[in-house]
Structures are given as C-alpha cells and as structure tokens.
Amino acid sequence: MRIFDPHIHMTSRTTDDYEAMRAAGVRAVVEPSFWLGQPRTRPASFFDYFDALLGWEPFRAAQYGIAHHCTLALNPKEANDPRCTPVLDALPRYLVKDGVVAVGEIGYDSMTPAEDAALAAQLQLAADHGLPALVHTPHRDKLAGLHRTVDVVNESSLPRERVLLDHLNETTVKDAKDSGCWLGFSVYPDTKMDEDRMVAILRAYGTEKVLVNSAADWGKSDPLKTRKVADAMITAGFGEDAVDQVLWRNPVAFYGLSGRLRLDVPQADGLHEGNSVLRGGE
Amino acid sequence: MTQPPAWTRGDVAALLPDDTARAWFDEALADAARAAGTPPAAPSPYLAHTWELRFAAAGRHCGHRNADAVRALLLIEARAGLGTLTRLYGYGSAAERRAVLRALPALVEGPHAVHLVEDALRSNDTGLVLAAVGPYAAAHLDAHAWRHAVLKCLFTGVPLDAVARWTHRAAGDGELARMLRDYAAERTAAGRDVPDDLGRVLTLTGEVPKEL
C-alpha cells in the first residue's frame, strides 16, 4: 500500500514518527506552513520556518525514504497581527521555489477583515505563480466559514479546480462538494474526523477529489491516521483501487497541478547510509 | 585569485533535456547579464530581480541534476557580489544554498564570504556540509573552524574525500591529531566503530593510527 499524507506538520514530529510512517506505507508528504502554538511576532521567524520546510525537513524525510514538499503562506491566525503581515510581501520570493507545491494554509480562523484581505491576496498569489491553494476551513463557526471561504474563492482569479478545502466534516462536505473544489478531511484522535466517520462520508459522497490527511502536529494527533483510514476502508468493503485513489492518486493529482511534484526521493550527494539524524545528531 | 567555474555555458546547454530548457537557460542568463549592468533599484528587503527568481526555479526548468551548474553560471553572469550571494543564500532552499557555496571559489576573492561556509557548517544537513567543505573552505577557513569541519564530516558520515585539499591542510597538524584521538577514544569507550576516514587523516597528521 502506498500512502501520500497531503497535510502533516512534520517539523513537530520525531524520527520515530518518520520510521513508523514509512513502515505503514507513507511514501510522500506535504507539509503546509501554519502556526506553531506559540505566536510569532516578526517576519524573520516565518522565514526561518519556511527555510526549514525547504531544507531541513525534506532532508530528514529523505532519510526514511519519504518525499517531502511544502505549501507556504501567511496563516490566517497570524494574518491578524500587523507585525507579521509583511510576510505577504516576501512570499513571491518563496513561492517560486522547487519544493513549493501550493499556497497554504490560507483561509479563515476568526473571520476578520484582516483574514479577508490575506485570503484574497494569497489566492491571487497562487494564481500568479501557477500554484493550487490549500485552504483551511475554520474550526469555530464552521459552516458559515465554509460559505464565506467559497464566496472569496469564487471572486478570485484562481479556478475552483485548483483549490482544496480542508478540515471538512459532515456539516460542510455537501456544500464544499457543490462548490467544485477538492475535498480534504483531517482525521484526529479526538477532534475533527475519525476513521469510521470518514468511511461513512466516502460511502455517501464517493472517492472522487477526496483527500484524507492526518494533519498531525504539536497537538494530540496521530501521523498514522492515513493508514488507519485505509484499513477502515478495506474493512468496510472498499477495494484496493479506491484506497489507492484516495490515499495516493488524488493527492498526487491535486499537488501535481503545481508541476513541481517529485516523488522520487532525492538523496544528499555522495553520502554513506549513516548520517547525523539517524545517529541522533551531534 | 578566483578559480574558473567548473562549467562553461556550452557544457551546461549540452546537458539540458530539451530546447525549452535551453531557451529558458538563455533567457535567464540574459536577465542576469542585464542585472549586472544596471545599478540596484531602491532598496526593498523582499523585492527580487527576475534573474534571482529564475535562480530559485532552475531545478524544475533545467532538471534537478543540472541546477547547480545553471545556478553557478547565473551567479557569474550577474557578477554576484557578496551582498547578492549573502541574500540568495539567506533566502535560499537547501539546493540554492548548495549552489551558492559551490560557486564561491569562482566568485569571491579573499575570505569575505566565509560566514556562508560557517553557516552551512552549523547545519546538520549533510548536503550543505558537503558543499561547504570545498575549495573555498580549504583556502579561507581558519585552523580551528577547519578542524571542526573535518570532525563534523566524520560525525555525520560526509566522506573525507569531499573535503578539498584535506591532505595538504592535515599534514603535521598536531591539534587535529589530538582531536581525532579523543574522538576515537570516545567511540571505542562506547563500543562503537571508529570511522575508517579517521585513520586516514590521523596518518597524515604524523600520528600512527595503530595506537587507536
């Protein structure tokens, strides 16, 4: 079984997680830029974070045979802090990079005017850079947030076929599907979706344009949720082809819209098998 | 004296996969040449010249295997000075940073860019470490930093032969010999293997590796 986790924050995870993910079938991940729990207060903190997503994290992932790409953006929560908004001016420098396969996570957190402005500006950046967009839908006031998100997408110059609406659930899936965007579901231990509810949604709405992710991060989360959904799909009677579509072909098709996806895992030049990460650093 | 670049324009053009890539390469070089001939615009921390954006995008347009060579030629064509090199390294992905490090011998005379080598040697990305210990480091890294770079290669599994002129710099270096002996003792005390490369350097310092 080959698995592509289209949304996981590996910078918060350990090498044990990489090892377990590889053993479970994960061969590719996309790491969206997001908030870190501790709010940032200046653009330079974002740039160091972007650099990690373009350098250190792909290097770590490669040690475990996992291809790593990222999506970059000013996230909705920190778009409300005027000390952080100059990040928007620097994004054109970063969005041209080979490892960037979408603009994201953008969208709404508290649905403020500052979030409106950042979302619209970054949908335009995606259109300008030939990139799709990964759009986070809010956890509070979710259905209203979904509607407002779809309205802004429809007003933008980015076609809906290049937008992935993420963190959907039973209350938002129908309207999201009607919008013509791609559909993302995050499967978590306690919040968001769980495996059985995910299977029920796949039964009701089909497997087309559906992506399932673990969204594992610094909170209580599980980087093996993608595999657990695959197993739940098999138990529920889905065939291997449907599992491969949801957990591999759909994320490859969506992020492939960037033209930058490389699923072969590049190795650092001329190195022996051992390295400092596997040895526990120095 | 700077060194001639490892690749000529013709070498690189011959490596490119198709005419689309060759046309992109020609346009990027022309962009870079124009930038070399014009004074910098009003300072803006984030605004990038077109050729700098092409520098970032070289992998997917020219093939990832050719990206180092393409990027090196863009730097040369733009006559990139220390400010530009520092900026491109600072905003660079790991691949772009490697390209800057590899281009240093052809672009920078003197030790002014050694801070970029030192930055790369602080990272734990073995690809960056490997690119950092090239001819520029051999010429300009001070003795203390160079010894730590050698030790870091042994620690992280970067092959010793990637370290430019290591036989020349290690010869008769008693302090390096002491550091290597201590490292070997630490590995042995922990019941771990001593890297083969360690014995090769120790021999050159004038020490006999059999004492390990």
What is the rounded CA–CA span in Å between residue A172 and residue A74?
Answer: 24
CA of A56, closest CA in chain B: separation in Å?
6
Element (H, E) at A139: none
Q: Does B195 touch chain A (CB under 8 A)?
A: no
Per the CB < 8 Å rule, is A96 touching B53? yes
Give the distance from residue B133's alpha carbon to the nearest chain A alpha carbon, in angstroms.
Answer: 13
Q: Where are the domains of chain A?
A: 3-256
pLDDT surpasses 60 at A275: no
- The model's pLDDT over B154-202, given as tens digits with 9 standing for 90+, comes to 999 999 999 999 999 999 899 999 999 999 999 999 999 999 999 888 8
Q: What is the distance between the alpha carbons of residues B167 and A146, in angstroms, rounded to a whole number?
A: 64
Mean pLDDT of A183-188: 95
Q: Following CA atoms A8, A11, A15, A18 in sequence, which dihedral angle do they give, to the nearest 10 degrees?
A: 20
Mean per-residue pLDDT over chain A, rounded: 93
Is B97 in CB contact (< 8 Å) with chain A? yes
**A175-184, A244-253, B8-17, B32-41: which has the minimum mean pLDDT?**
B32-41
Question: Does the interface predicted TM-score (ipTM) exceed 0.85?
Answer: yes
How large a percentage of chain A has pLDDT more than 70?
Answer: 94
Q: How many CA atoms lie within 13 A of B173 on its CB side?
A: 22
Instruction: Please answer yes or no on whether A92 and B48 come within 8 Å at the CB atom.
Output: yes
The segment with the largest mean pLDDT, out of A47-51, A186-190, B40-44, is A47-51
Per-residue pLDDT, A60: 97
Chain A neighbors of B60, CB-CB under 8 A = 98, 259-260
Under an 8 A CB cutoff, do A271 and B157 touch? yes
Is residue B199 within 8 A of residue B212, CB to CB? The reply is yes
Q: Is a pLDDT exceeding 90 seen at residue B134?
A: yes
Residue A39 φ/ψ, nearest 5 degrees: -60, 145
**Residue A282: which pLDDT band, with cuts at 50, 70 and 90?**
very low
Helices (H), B91-191: 94-107, 114-122, 126-132, 135-140, 143-156, 166-170, 174-189
Question: Domain residues of chain B, as ranges?
Answer: 1-109, 112-212
Which of A44-48, A62-66, B6-10, B121-125 is predicted least confidently? B6-10
Rounded mean pLDDT, B120-125: 96
**Closest chain A residue to B88, measured at CA:** A93
Please report which confidence band the pLDDT of residue A264 belongs to, taking 50, 70 and 90 as the band edges: confident
For B81-99, the pLDDT digits (tens) are 999 999 999 999 999 999 9
pLDDT, tens digit (0-9, with 9 covering 90-100), for A125-136 = 999 999 999 999
Q: Which residues of A touch B (CB under 8 A)?
A: 47, 51, 54-56, 58-59, 86, 89-90, 92-94, 96-99, 259-260, 262, 266, 268-277, 279, 281-282
Residue A242 pLDDT level (bands cut at 50, 70, 90): very high
- Which residue in B135, B169, B125 sits closest to B150, CA to CA? B169
Range with the poorest average pLDDT among A1-15, A16-30, A193-207, B32-46: B32-46
Any CB–CB contact under 8 A between B158 and chain A?
Answer: yes
Chain A CB contacts of B155 under 8 Å are: 276, 279, 282
Closest residue of chain B to A60, computed from CA coordinates: B125
Between chains, do A51 and B162 touch, taking CB under 8 Å as contact? no
User: According to the model, what pLDDT value does residue B42 have?
Assistant: 57
Tokens for A277, please give them: 């990460």
Task: Name the CATH superfamily housing domain A3-256.
Answer: Metal-dependent hydrolases (3.20.20.140)
Distance from CA of B14 to the nearest CA of A (A): 22
Kindly report the nearest CA distance between residue B112 and chain A, in angstroms.
23
Question: What radius of gyration, in Å, describes the C-alpha atoms of chain B?
Answer: 20
Using the CB atoms, write b or e for B22-37: b if 16+ within 10 Å. Answer: bebbeebbebbeebee
C-alpha to C-alpha distance for B64 and B58, rounded to whole angstroms: 8
Phi then psi for residue B67, to 5 deg, are -65, -40
Give all strands of the β-sheet with A100-107 in edge-to-edge order: A3-5, A26-32, A67-72, A100-107, A133-136, A163-166, A182-186, A210-213
Output the pLDDT for position B209: 58
Question: For residue B68, which residues of chain A lie inside 8 Å, CB to CB?
Answer: none
Instruction: Choose among B112, B3, B20, B98: nearest CA to B55.
Output: B98
d(CA A263, CA A265): 6
Determine the residue among A93, A255, A257, A263 to mutate to test chain B binding: the one whose Cβ has the most chain B Cβ atoms within 10 Å: A93
* Residue A227 clears pLDDT 70, i.e. is over it: yes
**pLDDT more than 90, % of chain B:** 81
Q: Is B208 left (phi over 0), alpha (psi -120 to 50) or beta?
A: beta
